[in-house]
Structure formats: structure tokens, C-alpha cells
């Protein structure tokens, strides 16, 4: 294992079929996680009020609805509120009611892209079960800025569209079962980069534009 700068901003996206893996991911993170965790789960504009409490009971960290102007702190989970995009700027949370992206608000792409602009290599992007391709452009931005991209193994996801789209949009993303995603995210937050991850599938992009996996 190598030592690298700590990746202390973890952004997570989930949609259809994503609540259970999201709870499992949060439950697998260490109580002393030296990182902030920001979450977008696609929810109706009038719903989702119970989500922060559900996630708070699922993790050893402290979870709550993201608030505008709140400073990022380690060990905290910030949950996107209904009908608001969550952005990262200057080390703080910014809430926005800008137009929907990918047909949803909150959307993953604006959160991932703003985190990449702010944090660069400090960012870990995690994509869980969901349909369509929200988070794909955001994952590409995270990777371009030196961050890491992790996705739920599409074969494990109830809806593989979002994980598969993130893999297709990146060059070095890794696909793992959710419990292994949490373990790896914790290692990356502490500044440890494993030389290899057993069972991981790494995207390989041949010249013909297809995507293969090696693992």
C-alpha cells in the first residue's frame, strides 16, 4: 500500500434501488472517518424528509440534512434536501434551486462537479444503484481533477444504469460490492492507496469505444 494525500471529501449518488446499498455503505464506514460525506438520493420534490434520520440510524457517523453555508466537517454526512442541488464551494455547502439536471433535483452531477472543482484529488466519488446516467459527467470531472471513482458492482446493483454509465464515462473507476466500497473509501480517506483490491473490476476502454472489465 502507498501513502497519498488524504481524500477527505466523499460524494455519493444513488437512485432507484439505492437506499439499501446506501445504508450499507454508510454503515461500513469507520466511526472516526477523517472525511466529509455528501449524499444525493433522487427523491420527489415533496418527499425525503425522513431520509436524514433513516441514514443517521444506519451509520456510526452523524447524518443530517445539508444546510446552506454549513462548513464541511469530518465525520459528518450531509444529505441533499428535496428539490435542492447540493454544491461545494470554499469548503462550505451551498444549496441551489437551479434547473433540474438529468431530469432531477437534487442531481449528482452538479454536486460531483463542484466537489471536483473545489477538492481536486481530495475527492472520492461513489455511485450506487440507479437508472439512467446521472453522476456520469460528475465522475468524469472527479477523475480529471485527480480524484477517485468507485461504483457498486453493476451485477450487484438492483438497477445497474448509473454504475455502468459512470464506468463508461471514466478511465480508472473501480467496481466493487457495497461493503468493499465502504472499506476502500475509508482507506482512501486516511491517505492509504491499496496496490490492488481483491475482487475489484477496473474499467478498460479499448480503441473501439467498448468497455471491458478486468478483475
Q: Which residues pair with 151 in a beta bridge?
A: 127, 175
Q: How does pLDDT run across 31-78, given as a tens digit for each residue?
A: 999 999 999 999 887 777 899 999 999 999 999 999 999 999 999 999
- The answer to whether residue 205 is catalytic is no
- Tell me the CA distances in angstroms from 186 to 69, 146, 183, 191, one per residue in order: 26, 18, 5, 9
| 8, 42, 109, 153: the active-site residue | 42
Q: Could you report the per-residue pLDDT of 173-202, keeping only the tens digit for each?
A: 999 999 999 999 999 999 988 766 765 666
The answer to whether residue 15 is catalytic is yes
The pLDDT value recorded for residue 193 is 83
Provide the whole-model pTM.
Answer: 0.91
Catalytic residue among 133, 134, 153, 180: 134
134 is an active site residue: yes
One of 15, 58, 114, 129 is an active-site residue; which one? 15
The domain 2-214 having CATH identifier 3.20.20.390: the answer here is no
Amino acid at each position: 500500500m502507498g501513502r497519498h494525500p488524504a481524500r477527505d471529501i466523499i460524494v455519493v449518488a444513488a437512485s432507484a434501488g439505492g437506499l439499501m446499498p446506501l445504508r450499507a455503505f454508510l454503515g461500513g464506514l469507520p466511526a472516526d472517518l477523517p472525511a466529509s460525506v455528501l449524499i444525493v438520493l433522487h427523491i420527489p420534490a415533496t418527499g425525503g424528509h425522513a431520509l436524514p434520520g433513516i441514514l443517521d440510524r444506519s451509520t456510526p457517523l452523524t447524518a443530517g440534512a445539508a444546510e446552506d453555508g454549513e462548513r464541511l466537517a469530518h465525520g459528518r454526512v450531509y444529505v441533499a434536501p428535496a428539490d435542492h442541488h447540493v454544491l461545494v464551494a470554499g469548503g462550505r455547502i451551498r444549496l441551489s434551486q437551479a434547473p433540474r439536471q438529468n431530469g432531477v433535483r437534487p442531481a449528482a452531477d452538479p454536486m460531483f462537479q463542484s466537489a471536483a472543482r473545489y477538492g481536486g484529488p481530495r475527492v472520492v466519488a461513489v455511485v450506487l444503484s440507479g437508472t439512467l446516467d446521472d453522476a456520469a459527467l460528475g465522475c468524469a470531472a472527479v477523475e480529471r481533477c485527480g480524484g477517485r471513482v468507485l461504483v457498486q458492482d453493476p451485477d450487484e446493483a438492483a438497477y445497474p444504469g448509473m454504475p455502468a454509465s459512470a464506468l463508461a464515462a471514466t478511465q480508472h473507476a473501480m467496481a466493487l460490492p457495497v461493503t468493499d466500497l465502504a472499506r476502500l473509501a475509508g482507506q482512501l480517506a486516511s491517505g492509504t492507496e491499496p496496490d490492488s483490491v481483491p475482487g475489484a473490476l477496473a474499467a478498460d476502454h479499448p480503441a473501439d469505444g467498448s468497455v471491458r472489465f478486468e478483475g
